[in-house]
């Protein structure tokens, strides 16, 4: 069976055409050599700019810009360092400062029986603060002392 290739204007054997299920004949409209020539003549990928400048810091090295497929040149408009800095600022604003009261730290420390010295070491507070907190917990019934081991326990 012979088939016509409109590109090279010849009738060729059907074995010289690739299969294509979308066409009525089941073969590609162009012969394999013409398809290969067309593929070679097309540029691969998007052309890149010679110089790109970050609007924040003025960086101009192309290797410092991340890939962004939606951008016309295929690169992010900000350099990697500026993108990282913007992300860090955004994340820092979301984070809440972790403030724990001395009482909370001591409560956590006495979940297992511990001596006052061990509690001081765990919490990082001095003897006076730990003693005051333990006294308050003792008065409210939150802490008790094991008389044999002389360790504080949560009630």
Average model confidence (pLDDT) for the chain? Answer: 85
**Entry pTM:** 0.37
Q: Measured between alpha carbons, how far is 133 from 127 in angstroms, rounded to an integer? A: 10
Structure-token pair, residue 32:
């394999």
pLDDT value for 112: 84
Give yes or no for residue 42 having a pLDDT over 90: no
Bridge partners (DSSP) listed for residue 145 = 152
Domain chopping of the chain, boundaries: 2-41, 46-95, 102-154
Average pLDDT on 128-134 reads 90
Give yes or no for residue 16 having a pLDDT over 90: yes
* pLDDT tens-place string over residues 92-127: 777 766 777 888 888 888 888 888 888 888 888 889
Which CATH code, of 3.40.50.720, 1.10.10.10, 3.40.630.30, 2.120.10.30, is assigned to 102-154? 1.10.10.10
CA distances from 154 to 60, 138, 151 (A): 61, 10, 10
Average pLDDT on 147-151 reads 81
pLDDT value for 53: 86
């Amino acid at each position: 069976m012979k088939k016509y290739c409109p590109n090279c204007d010849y009738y060729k054997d059907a074995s010289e055409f690739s299969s294509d299920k979308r066409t009525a004949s089941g073969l590609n409209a162009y012969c394999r050599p013409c398809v290969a020539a067309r593929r070679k003549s097309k540029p691969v990928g998007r052309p890149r700019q010679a110089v790109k400048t970050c609007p924040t810091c003025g960086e101009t090295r192309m290797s410092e810009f991340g890939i962004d497929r939606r951008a016309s040149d295929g690169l992010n408009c900000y350099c990697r360092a500026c993108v990282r800095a913007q992300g860090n600022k955004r994340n820092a604003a979301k984070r809440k400062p972790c403030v724990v009261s001395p009482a909370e730290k001591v409560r956590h420390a006495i979940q297992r029986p511990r001596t006052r010295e061990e509690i001081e070491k765990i919490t990082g507070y001095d003897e006076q603060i730990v003693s005051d907190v333990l006294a308050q917990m003792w008065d409210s019934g939150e802490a008790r002392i094991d008389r044999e081991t002389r360790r504080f326990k949560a009630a």
